[in-house]
Amino acid sequence: MGTGPFHLVSPLFAPLKALLRFLQLLQILQLLQTYSRGKMGRLMRITGPRGSGKTVLLTELGELVAQQGWNVVNVVSDEDVLDSIRRQLLRSLHVARAAVTANLPFVSAEVDVAELPADATFREVFEYEVRRYTKREEPASIPIDEVAVALKASIERSGLHIEDEALACAARATEGYAYLTQLVGHSVWRVARRHAATSLIISQHDVKEGVQVARDEYERAVLDTALADLTLPSVQYLLSMCVDEGASSTGEIARRMGKPTADANSYRRILIARQIIEATAPGYVAFSMPRMKEYLERNKDRILARYGR
């Protein structure tokens, strides 16, 4: 059966690989070409929700620019960032000395080149944010009609066909979220493959079954993981938001929790930093992760049991 057209590495997976990432890489490479003409000292920040492909995009970008002669430095949040940059510069540039210093929010690297006189240096400024979280500039979700086009293209390239109503149902189930698009497409495809010997048509019944499988996996891999190491007050903050249909008043959340506003705001900042909620207006927040509210409402007792409640 193979991995199917919606596996992450499949060339048939259109939603991210064909429709989004190619255009993103092209745009970034054009910006980097501008920088290479002498306009250095620029900041480029790539943001997006969990599962939207940020790591894959950065990995591909690093490989492309390395082929063009750029020195690529990779760092992760759980290591000494400055020391990691220094060590990678020493390896990649074959220099005698590298000193990396932080002057928030920028990082500067000064390197002595071994082949030149001792007093000759060149300076590169890696203008990126040291602080892991800043004001979010999250891109909009993928339009549902574009998701439908991508799903249909991927399905038909695999040899299957999908009814129009079934396609519309599958596209809506993704909520425009990139990771859910992959999960829904892959799960529906696997369900339909079971009857491929007798019918190549994906029905609404196939979609309904596949969407449920995709949602179960999404909740396990994304939502449950996002909640796993939160403190009890942070979880209670989220549960207090579930009362509202739309955005929640931060003052009302504090009242529901029975906490001073200052205390409740500290939990709010943590949850925004974790990209579980987002500020929609001054004094208002909403869930930023698809289906988080429904997941909390359905699993409230199980989640609170982790804390002995």
pLDDT per residue over 4-34, tens digit each? Answer: 655 544 444 444 444 455 556 666 666 666 5
Would the pLDDT of 76 be above 90? no
Residue type, 31: L
**How many CA atoms does the CB half-sphere of 30 hold within 13 Å?**
6
Would the pLDDT of 78 be above 80? no
The predicted pLDDT at position 161 comes to 94
The predicted pLDDT at position 228 comes to 87
Tell me what the mean pLDDT of segment 38-57 comes to.
62
Cα–Cα distance list, 299 to 232, 238, 265 (Å): 15, 12, 24
Would the pLDDT of 287 be above 90? yes
The sign of the dihedral angle between the CA atoms of 267, 299, 227, 139 is negative
The residues spanned by each domain of the chain are 1-72+140-228, 78-131, 231-305
Evaluate the omega torsion of the peptide bond into residue 105 and state whether it is cis, within 30 degrees of 0: yes
- Threshold 0.75, pTM exceeds: no
Would the pLDDT of 106 be above 70? no
What is the residue-wise DSSP string for 285-303? EEE-STTHHHHHHHHHHHH
For the domain 231-305, what is the CATH code? 1.10.10.10
* pLDDT tens figures, 199-226: 999 999 999 999 999 999 999 888 998 8
The predicted pLDDT at position 67 comes to 77
Residue 247 contacts residue 281 (beta carbons within 8 Å): yes
